[in-house]
Amino acid sequence: MKPDLLLFKQHVSEAGFQTGVDNLMWGIVDESPEYPTWPLVVIWVQAASKENYPDRYYFKFELSGYPSQAPTACPWNMEQNTRLSNDNWPKGSKFVSTTFRPEWNPNALYAPCDRLAMPGHEGWQTVFPDLWWKPTFKIQVYLHFLHRLLNSGDYASH
Protein backbone atom coordinates (compact mmCIF):
# COMPACT_ATOMS: atom_id res chain seq x y z
CA MET A 1 0.00 0.00 0.00
CA LYS A 2 1.26 3.48 -0.86
CA PRO A 3 2.64 5.62 1.99
CA ASP A 4 0.28 8.53 1.19
CA LEU A 5 -2.74 6.23 1.40
CA LEU A 6 -1.48 4.62 4.61
CA LEU A 7 -1.10 8.03 6.26
CA PHE A 8 -4.52 9.17 5.03
CA LYS A 9 -6.15 6.01 6.40
CA GLN A 10 -4.40 6.55 9.72
CA HIS A 11 -5.45 10.20 9.90
CA VAL A 12 -9.13 9.53 9.12
CA SER A 13 -9.26 6.84 11.81
CA GLU A 14 -8.03 9.25 14.51
CA ALA A 15 -10.19 11.23 16.93
CA GLY A 16 -9.66 14.59 15.20
CA PHE A 17 -11.30 13.39 12.00
CA GLN A 18 -13.82 11.08 13.65
CA THR A 19 -15.10 13.89 15.89
CA GLY A 20 -16.09 15.78 12.73
CA VAL A 21 -17.82 12.65 11.40
CA ASP A 22 -19.66 12.10 14.70
CA ASN A 23 -20.78 15.75 14.75
CA LEU A 24 -22.01 15.49 11.13
CA MET A 25 -19.53 18.12 9.99
CA TRP A 26 -18.04 15.94 7.24
CA GLY A 27 -17.71 12.39 6.01
CA ILE A 28 -16.06 10.29 3.34
CA VAL A 29 -18.49 9.17 0.64
CA ASP A 30 -16.83 5.82 -0.18
CA GLU A 31 -15.42 4.47 3.05
CA SER A 32 -14.17 1.28 1.43
CA PRO A 33 -10.94 0.39 3.24
CA GLU A 34 -9.19 -0.06 -0.11
CA TYR A 35 -10.04 3.47 -1.37
CA PRO A 36 -10.33 2.14 -4.94
CA THR A 37 -10.10 5.58 -6.55
CA TRP A 38 -7.00 6.67 -4.57
CA PRO A 39 -5.60 9.35 -4.71
CA LEU A 40 -9.09 10.71 -5.43
CA VAL A 41 -11.48 10.79 -2.47
CA VAL A 42 -14.89 12.47 -2.26
CA ILE A 43 -15.68 14.05 1.10
CA TRP A 44 -18.87 15.91 1.99
CA VAL A 45 -18.92 18.96 4.24
CA GLN A 46 -22.02 20.12 6.09
CA ALA A 47 -23.31 23.61 5.27
CA ALA A 48 -25.62 25.90 7.22
CA SER A 49 -29.27 25.35 6.45
CA LYS A 50 -30.25 28.14 4.05
CA GLU A 51 -33.26 28.32 1.79
CA ASN A 52 -32.42 27.29 -1.80
CA TYR A 53 -28.96 26.03 -0.80
CA PRO A 54 -27.84 22.45 -0.11
CA ASP A 55 -27.19 21.29 3.46
CA ARG A 56 -23.92 19.73 2.34
CA TYR A 57 -21.40 20.08 -0.44
CA TYR A 58 -19.26 17.35 -1.88
CA PHE A 59 -15.60 17.89 -2.70
CA LYS A 60 -13.40 15.65 -4.79
CA PHE A 61 -9.97 15.72 -3.21
CA GLU A 62 -6.79 14.82 -5.05
CA LEU A 63 -4.41 13.54 -2.37
CA SER A 64 -1.31 12.22 -4.12
CA GLY A 65 1.74 12.72 -1.92
CA TYR A 66 -0.44 13.32 1.16
CA PRO A 67 0.40 14.84 3.62
CA SER A 68 3.77 16.00 2.29
CA GLN A 69 1.93 17.65 -0.57
CA ALA A 70 -1.13 19.77 0.08
CA PRO A 71 -4.47 18.41 -1.06
CA THR A 72 -6.47 20.07 -3.78
CA ALA A 73 -10.25 19.97 -3.88
CA CYS A 74 -13.04 20.73 -6.30
CA PRO A 75 -16.78 21.01 -5.60
CA TRP A 76 -18.33 17.81 -6.91
CA ASN A 77 -21.71 16.78 -8.32
CA MET A 78 -22.39 13.32 -6.92
CA GLU A 79 -25.39 12.61 -9.17
CA GLN A 80 -23.48 13.28 -12.38
CA ASN A 81 -20.04 12.25 -11.05
CA THR A 82 -18.50 15.41 -12.42
CA ARG A 83 -17.28 18.80 -11.27
CA LEU A 84 -20.09 20.91 -9.82
CA SER A 85 -21.25 23.48 -12.37
CA ASN A 86 -19.95 26.99 -11.71
CA ASP A 87 -23.39 28.38 -10.88
CA ASN A 88 -23.86 25.76 -8.13
CA TRP A 89 -20.62 26.48 -6.24
CA PRO A 90 -21.16 27.85 -2.72
CA LYS A 91 -22.14 31.51 -2.71
CA GLY A 92 -21.57 34.28 -0.24
CA SER A 93 -19.81 37.53 0.31
CA LYS A 94 -16.26 38.19 1.39
CA PHE A 95 -14.38 34.96 2.24
CA VAL A 96 -16.85 32.51 0.68
CA SER A 97 -16.82 34.27 -2.70
CA THR A 98 -13.04 34.65 -2.50
CA THR A 99 -12.51 30.92 -1.90
CA PHE A 100 -15.12 29.50 -4.30
CA ARG A 101 -13.97 31.11 -7.56
CA PRO A 102 -14.49 28.81 -10.53
CA GLU A 103 -13.40 31.64 -12.83
CA TRP A 104 -9.95 31.46 -11.18
CA ASN A 105 -9.66 27.68 -11.52
CA PRO A 106 -12.71 25.46 -12.07
CA ASN A 107 -10.85 22.47 -10.56
CA ALA A 108 -9.57 23.92 -7.28
CA LEU A 109 -10.35 26.27 -4.42
CA TYR A 110 -8.60 29.58 -3.92
CA ALA A 111 -7.38 28.72 -0.44
CA PRO A 112 -4.08 28.74 1.47
CA CYS A 113 -4.38 25.00 2.11
CA ASP A 114 -5.01 24.06 -1.54
CA ARG A 115 -2.10 22.71 -3.59
CA LEU A 116 -3.09 24.55 -6.76
CA ALA A 117 -3.61 27.93 -5.06
CA MET A 118 -0.42 27.97 -3.01
CA PRO A 119 2.14 28.70 -5.77
CA GLY A 120 2.45 32.44 -6.29
CA HIS A 121 0.73 33.17 -2.97
CA GLU A 122 3.64 32.59 -0.61
CA GLY A 123 2.53 35.70 1.35
CA TRP A 124 -0.40 33.65 2.61
CA GLN A 125 2.13 31.75 4.71
CA THR A 126 2.38 34.69 7.12
CA VAL A 127 -1.22 35.93 6.71
CA PHE A 128 -2.79 32.48 7.23
CA PRO A 129 -0.20 30.43 9.15
CA ASP A 130 -2.86 28.05 10.50
CA LEU A 131 -4.07 27.24 6.98
CA TRP A 132 -0.88 27.29 4.90
CA TRP A 133 -0.40 23.58 4.29
CA LYS A 134 2.43 21.91 6.16
CA PRO A 135 3.47 18.24 5.89
CA THR A 136 2.45 17.80 9.55
CA PHE A 137 -1.18 18.71 8.76
CA LYS A 138 -4.02 16.24 8.54
CA ILE A 139 -6.99 16.41 6.18
CA GLN A 140 -9.24 17.89 8.86
CA VAL A 141 -7.32 21.20 8.63
CA TYR A 142 -8.77 21.62 5.13
CA LEU A 143 -12.17 20.28 6.22
CA HIS A 144 -12.40 22.63 9.23
CA PHE A 145 -11.62 25.52 6.89
CA LEU A 146 -14.43 24.49 4.52
CA HIS A 147 -16.85 23.83 7.37
CA ARG A 148 -16.19 27.26 8.89
CA LEU A 149 -16.81 28.95 5.52
CA LEU A 150 -20.00 27.01 4.82
CA ASN A 151 -21.37 27.76 8.29
CA SER A 152 -20.35 31.40 8.54
CA GLY A 153 -22.62 34.41 8.32
CA ASP A 154 -20.83 35.05 5.04
CA TYR A 155 -22.23 31.88 3.43
CA ALA A 156 -25.27 32.34 1.15
CA SER A 157 -25.40 36.08 1.81
CA HIS A 158 -25.51 38.65 -0.93
Predicted confidence (pLDDT) per residue in 77-96, tens digit? 999 999 999 999 999 988 99
Average pLDDT over all residues of the chain: 95
Confidence (pLDDT) at 156: 86
Domains and CATH numbers, the chain: 3-150 (3.10.110)
Query: 3-state class of 130 per DSSP?
Result: coil
User: What confidence tier does 138 reach under pLDDT thresholds 50, 70, 90?
Assistant: very high
pLDDT above 90 covers what percent of the chain?
90
Which has the closest alpha carbon to 111: 75, 77, 153, 145? Answer: 145
